[in-house]
A and B are shown apart, each in its own frame.
Chain A
Amino acid sequence: MSSWLRFAPIFLLLLIVAAMLWRLANPPDTTVHSQMIGKPVPQFALAAAVPGVAGLSSAQLADGKPKLIHFFASWCVPCIGEAPVLDQLKKQGVQIDGIAIRDRPDELAQFLARNGDPFDRIGSDPESKTQLAFGSSGVPETFLVDGRGVIRLQHIGAIEPGEVPAITAAVEQAR
């Protein structure tokens, strides 16, 4: 038997191992990514979610200043861990507006009291209509909207402390 033939199974093994290594490094992405990036924000006008804090509408987003739109809820567990990161962003001068999905005012108020309130405005989205219009599929998710009201970035899941510099840089670029 020629040596090429006898060593062929080993080459095949190497190919398969390479494919497996690739997959381990790039886990299957089962999240739904928004198709709205690069497009203007969908039209919406949301009532105040918490008494004392203004609601949010799409018209307010094209005021020349980039901002983060943060989808969250009082029942969203990872949002609790993310709160200090949002505070940090706010301290660095990033403007953050919130959209609370499927929530109740009293529970929201409790959540904000316990975890801090980095939001300028919070809109109430009781049926996730605005959330879906943004192309968001879960909480927490954060969208970067530039001064002209165009969606520039989608961040799925809680923002890690290590990602703060990248986000502030992106906000700067969006001016």
Chain B
Amino acid sequence: MIAKPKHQRLVLVAIALVAMLAAVLLAMWGLRDRAAYFYTPADVVAGKAQPGQSIRLGGMVQKGSVQRLADGVTVRFVLTDGAAKVPVVFRGIVPDLFREGSGAIAEGSLESGGTFDATNILAKHDERYMPPQMGNQAAEHQTAKTVDR
């Protein structure tokens, strides 16, 4: 079946449209439950996040809350935003910028028991935060815009 030239162009245009539509529909299907929403501890405590769903939880690592478990690679800590706290457990090597009192984002999901099971930790690089050890070096680096990690 050889399509006539006029038909062929029409067919090609139709196929192009179908392809675009397919891309959009496919994307919508994929985004429906694979996009990870961002929540604060207050949101989580208020019940806005579904257990088991892949989300990101952001807050401050509460001072004194970081506990290393006996296996040496699992760490428990608490993320807080002042109003609420969420306990987090993470198995892995924490990033270098991960510190108590500093900002962090945990990727993972909420367990039914209320603990957040993190599969990945992103520690925030905050220019405003210069720990005391920096001393006067901080002044030289004050305007340096380093790459956001």
Contacts and interface: CB of A to CB of B under 8 A. Distances in A.
Contacts of A1: 13
Given A1-B13, A32-B40, A132-B62, A102 B82 contact: no
B132 A133 contact: no
Given A32-B40, A128-B63, A138 B126 contact: yes
Given A128-B63, A137-B126, 4 more contacts: A33-B81, A77-B138, A103-B132, A138-B129
B134 to A, nearest CB: 7
Contacts of A103: 132
Nearest to B41: A35
Most buried by B among A1, A134, A157: A1
Interface in A33-67: 33-36, 39
Interface residues of A, number: 30
B60 A132 contact: yes
A35 B62 contact: no
Contacts of B128: 76, 78, 138-140, 157
B99 to A, nearest CB: 11
A163 interface: no
Contacts of B13: 1, 5
Interface of A: 1, 5, 30, 32-36, 39, 73, 75-78, 102-104, 127-129, 132-140, 157
A55 B114 CA distance: 38
Contact of A30 (B80, B81, B101, B124): B124
A32 B83 CA distance: 12
Main secondary structure of the interface of A (DSSP, over half): loop
B2 interface: no
B113 interface: no
Contacts, number: 72
Given A32-B58, A77-B139, A103-B132, A135 B83 contact: yes
Nearest to B59: A32
21 contacts: A5-B13, A5-B17, A32-B59, A32-B81, A34-B82, A35-B42, A35-B81, A35-B82, A75-B130, A76-B128, A76-B130, A77-B139, A78-B142, A103-B132, A127-B63, A129-B63, A132-B82, A132-B101, A138-B128, A139-B128, A139-B129
A113 B64 CA distance: 32
B81 A75 contact: no
A92 B83 CA distance: 32
A75 B128 CA distance: 10
Most buried by B among A1, A32, A128: A32
Contacts of B132: 73, 75, 102-104
B11 to A, nearest CB: 13
